[in-house]
Amino acid sequence: MRPVLVLATDSRHPSGLGEHMLTLGSALSDEFDVVIAADGNAGGRDLLARAAAMGLRIKAFDLSALNPFKAWLRNNATLLHVHAGIGWEGHELVRLGKAAGLPTIRTEHLPYVLTSPVQQAEYGALLLSVDRVITVSRAAYDSFASRHGASRFALVPNGIAARRATTDRQNTRSALGVLAHEQMLLTVARFTEQKAYPTLLDAVPAVLEHQPGARFVWVGDGPDFTTLEKAVRDAGLDHAVTLLGHRDDVPDLLAAADLLVSPSLFEGLPLVLLEAMAAGVPVVTTAIGGSIEAVGEAHPYLTAPVDPIALASTITAALADPDAAQKSGEAGRERFNQHFLASRMAAQTAKIYASVMAPSSSQLQARSA
Amino acid sequence: MTKTRIGFIGVGGIAQRHLGVLEQFEDVELAGFADVDFDRAVDAASRFGARAFANHDDMLAHGRLDAIYICIPPFAHGAAERAVIAKGLPFFVEKPISLDLAMAEALAGEIETAGLITAVGYHWRYLDTVDEARRLLENRPAQLLSGYWLDQTPPPQWWWHKDQSGGQMVEQTTHIIDLARYLVGDVTQVFGLAGHSNRDNYPGLDVPTVSTASLRFASGAVGNIGSTCLLNWGHRVGLHLFADGMALELTDHDIMVDVGAGRPVRHAEGDPVWREDRDFIDAVRGKPSRIRCSYGEALKTHRVALAINQSAETGQAVDLVTR
């Protein structure tokens, strides 16, 4: 029997993190009996449905009453791998895993951003009950290891299974009202402070000044959606900016796009950049830890965070020379294939599992013995 | 301990009843759930750490299952059973087993040929009060029966339509018909009457709202069973049996035995659905079968229920060939 691997999150909005869990679960399905676990009452429900549609086992828990989940873990699981969107998430789940007697792994999907002394202390305490913490980029690894020592931390850069577009580029553009001579600039990110949409909005007029055919398409949901929508209207930019809300057809949108723009303030290792690279779409991104690791330090379209003027000029430069942008996109695809495949991420993660599982429960160890 | 991996086809109300039992069995793993309403499959799967499927074919192809529970509405039977039989898996199916007698007959033949373990959800057979009644009737067989299903109209809209539920005699009162057969033996002749009146809160209701059936048994016993869905509450479901010097009254929760010394009532103990599920799982796990109602046995009850409907429509008594 394959070891039962439970990938769990208590994140209320497991969007990119949820994608990551599904990618990992799917890539490990041959070696492990994979269960995706999430809060059945909150945003986790959608993750569970997506996992089910992919053929993975699913388990809902109730964050306000976790004892039944602990009992279920004890009776059914071999290994618990908790995914935390931010440093203060997932502590309860980690403790639950240890209380259920399971080897427990944790992935940090963002760099260390805890500033409250209480949260910092709680994080230190959490480390006592986790077997291994995976970070998703070198920058994130450094941010944790420099504070808490390297012994518990591991680095497994994110990887994704590239998804193909299911519809023709032209169909998608027509549906969005993007004309043939216009350029579509896609941003896929939740509407939260971290993703810095206001900086991008501030950059829009300057871009339009040089490239009047630029059409911005913003995809995602989140608490700031309505505010941003109003800000776009108030700025008289609704002819150039479209907010789409959450979409399940990101591969189609990428195929329709001329440029992907990421104005984020900080990131772990952003999956949407990897998706854009896999699709050969040129990327403009802020020069922040995980994003630089994704596109590479020599990437031509890096820009400083929170700087609308710099962002506008980088976008304009990319749009002004489509040949150069296309070459950059092709280089991105090559870089993706070399470094960011899901299979590489899964193999590295499985090695970490093997290092913390008891020999009897680890086929991986048995095989290599 | 190797667990028996169970998959569910259909995860509505009656499936929940079985899940509440099966989750208590340590030798069972609830491994897969298929429902045409995928959200419902997801809800059930996420309760048990299982996999969810939008259709039964996918579940049977990928679920690595040992046995199946088929809990779908009366009109939906056929494809699910065929797929399970083709896979050679034992299955438990909820009553009524179909609306189409020819299809049920064909399925029974395929099950027989395949030699599959089957069970059907006529759970009254598992009441300890019914065991007591069988013991009491062993030496004093019943000669007159009077059965009842006097109830409200169930909320699911499919139930209101004869072409989807088969009507009350087929969907609910079938429990009483089955109980009568279990206690008295095969039915040889039926005569049915039915009437209908509209109910404001149930638009489109087209099943008979009152129905009654006279039955003759191979043993010589005679009986009558009455049904109505005109109430707004459950009034009485049960079977009264009369033998030489003895009257029995059975409901789904107690038994009254009248031998001329008062009317003592004993409450049923234990959960008949628990026993029914346990017997099915034990048989699937290779123990000697104690299953009280196989598909073939349920088919005999179903023939009686459908014959009552037929008689009510034609106005003619229907003779049943006992096999």
Regarding whether B175 and B311 lie in a shared domain, the answer is: yes
The reply to whether B88 and B215 lie within a common domain is: no
Query: The CATH number of the domain where B289 resides is what?
Result: 3.40.50.720
B236 and B140 share a domain?
yes
Nearest to B46 among A53, A58, A76 (CB): A58
Residues of chain A above pLDDT 70, percent: 97
Q: Are residues A321 and A349 in the same domain?
A: no
Amino acid A365: pLDDT: 42
**ipTM reported for the complex, 2 dp:** 0.83
Output the 3-class SS for A62-98: ECCECHHHHHHHHHHCCEEEEEECCCCCCHHHHHHHH
Residues B34 and B178 in one domain: no
- The reply to whether A37 touches chain B by the CB within 8 Å rule is yes
CB A275 within 8 A of CB A283: no
Residue A178 scores a pLDDT above 50: yes
pLDDT of residue A369: 35
Identify all chain A residues contacting B48, using CB atoms and an 8 Å cutoff.
Answer: 59
Distance CA B271, CA A263 (A): 62
Greatest Cα pair distance in chain B: 61
Indicate whether A11 and A60 sit together in one domain.
yes
Closest CB to A52: pick one of B45, B48, B62. Answer: B45
Number of domains in chain B: 2
Same structural domain, B148 and B166: yes
Report how far residue B251's alpha carbon sits from residue A170's, in angstroms, rounded to the nearest whole number: 68
Mutual angle of helices B79-86 and B101-114, in 10-degree steps = 10
pLDDT at position A268: 85
A124 and A231 assigned to the same domain: no
Question: How far apart are the CA of B159 and the nearest CA of chain A, in angstroms?
Answer: 29
* C-beta of residue B90 within 8 angstroms of C-beta of residue B118: yes
Across the interface, whether the CB atoms of A57 and B38 are under 8 A apart is answered no
Sequential pLDDT tens for chain B (323 residues): 899 999 999 999 899 999 999 999 999 999 999 999 999 999 999 999 999 999 999 999 987 999 999 999 999 999 999 999 999 999 999 999 999 999 999 999 999 999 999 999 999 999 999 999 999 999 999 999 999 999 999 999 999 999 999 999 999 999 999 999 999 999 999 999 999 999 999 999 999 999 999 999 999 999 999 999 999 999 999 999 999 999 999 999 999 999 999 999 999 999 999 999 999 999 999 999 999 999 999 999 999 999 999 999 999 999 998 65
Q: B39 CB near a chain A CB, below 8 Å?
A: yes
Distance of alpha carbon A1 from alpha carbon B3, whole angstroms: 12
Torsion of CA B269, B274, B277, B282, to 10 degrees: -80
Is residue A159 within 8 Å of residue A28, measured between CB atoms? Answer: no
CATH of the domain at B265: 3.30.360.10
- Shared domain check, B239 and B152: yes
Say whether residue B2 is in contact with chain A using an 8 A CB cutoff. no
Q: Is the domain of A243 the same as that of A321?
A: yes
Instruction: Give the pLDDT confidence score for residue A300 in this predicted structure.
Output: 96
pLDDT of residue B1: 80
Statement to judge: residues B176 and B311 lie in one domain: yes
Per DSSP (E only), the strands in B78-124 are: 91-93, 118-120
Interchain CB contact of A48 with B (< 8 Å): yes
pLDDT digits (tens, 9 = 90+) for A235-266: 999 999 999 999 989 999 999 999 999 999 99
Kindly tell me if the per-residue pLDDT of A366 is higher than 60.
Answer: no
- Give the helix/strand (H/E) hosting B101: helix B101-114
pLDDT at A363 over 50: no
- Inform me whether the C-beta atom of residue B158 falls under 8 Å from chain A C-beta atoms: no
Confidence of residue A368 (pLDDT cuts 50, 70, 90): very low
B183 and B103 in one domain? no
Strand locations in A92-175 (E)? 104-108, 132-135, 153-155
Residues B119 and B137 in one domain: no
Closest alpha carbon to A325 in A167, A211, A204, A157: A211
Domain that holds residue B25: 4-123+274-294
Same domain membership, residue B169 and residue B113: no
Q: Are residues A198 and A307 in the same domain?
A: yes
CATH code for position A330: 3.40.50.2000
Cβ(B65)–Cβ(B88) below 8 Å: no
Q: Are B152 and B195 found together in one domain?
A: yes
Q: What's the confidence (pLDDT) of residue A360?
A: 57
* First-last CA distance in chain A: 18
**Which pLDDT does position B322 carry in this prediction?**
60
* β-strands B144-152, B118-120 pairing: unpaired
Q: DSSP string covering A262-312, please?
A: E--S--SS-HHHHHHHHTT--EEEE--HHHHHHH-TT-TTEE-TT-HHHHH
- Does the CB of A71 have a partner CB in chain B at under 8 Å? no
- Residues A250 and A323 both lie in one domain: yes
Q: Give me the number of domains chain A comprises.
A: 2
Kindly give, in sequence order, each residue whose CB lies less than 8 Å from that of residue B97, ignoring residues fewer than 6 positions away.
Answer: B77, B104, B107, B120, B295, B298, B299, B302
In Å, how far are B16, B58, B110 from B9, measured between CA atoms? 12, 11, 19
Q: Which of A53, A60, A76 sits opposite B46 (nearest CB)?
A: A60
- Residue A157 sits in the same domain as residue A213: no
- In a shared domain, residues A345 and A333: no
Q: Do A60 and B41 touch (CB under 8 A)?
A: no
Domain membership of residue A348 as a residue range: 4-161+341-368
Closest A-chain CA to B55: A53
Q: Is the peptide bond before B96 cis (omega within 30 degrees of 0)?
A: yes
Collapsing DSSP states into helix, strand and coil, what is residue B228?
strand
B145 & B227 share domain: yes
CA distance B160 to B227: 14
Mean pLDDT calculated for residue range A180-208: 96
User: In this complex, is the C-beta atom of A56 within 8 Å of any C-beta atom belonging to chain B?
Assistant: yes
